[in-house]
Amino acid sequence: MISYILIILAAGCNAVMDILENENFSSSVFRNLNPKWWYKRESWKYAKKVFGWKYDGWHVFKSAMVTLLVTAIVLYRPVFSLWVDFLLMGGIWNATFSFTYKKLKL
């Protein structure tokens, strides 16, 4: 069951990444935050590197998403069956992504 929660959080991170990356940034909840850290089209110019890893809003959420997905895989225990869980997690990912994206966009 923990994998379902981790999938929800990863999908939320993915929605944040998409908002930070595209033209919807200017009409999102992030619009008043420093674009040099939050808006990917600007932040790449100013992002500091920590051990070769770029440190800005988009990369932080990307790393969180990947970490959550890998943890969901490692901790996965079937709730129903492999195929039912697979389909449910895909549906949950899409629903969470859409809901979060719409909430972040004003």
pTM (predicted TM-score)? 0.92
Question: With a cut of 70, which residues of the chain have pLDDT below it?
Answer: none
Dump the DSSP string for 46-94: H-EEETTEEESHHHHHHHHHHHHHHHHHHT---SS-HHHHHHHHHHHHH
Span 63-75, pLDDT tens digits: 999 999 999 999 9
pLDDT in the model for residue 79: 93
Percent of the chain whose pLDDT exceeds 70: 100
Q: Are 101 and 19 in contact (CB under 8 A)?
A: yes
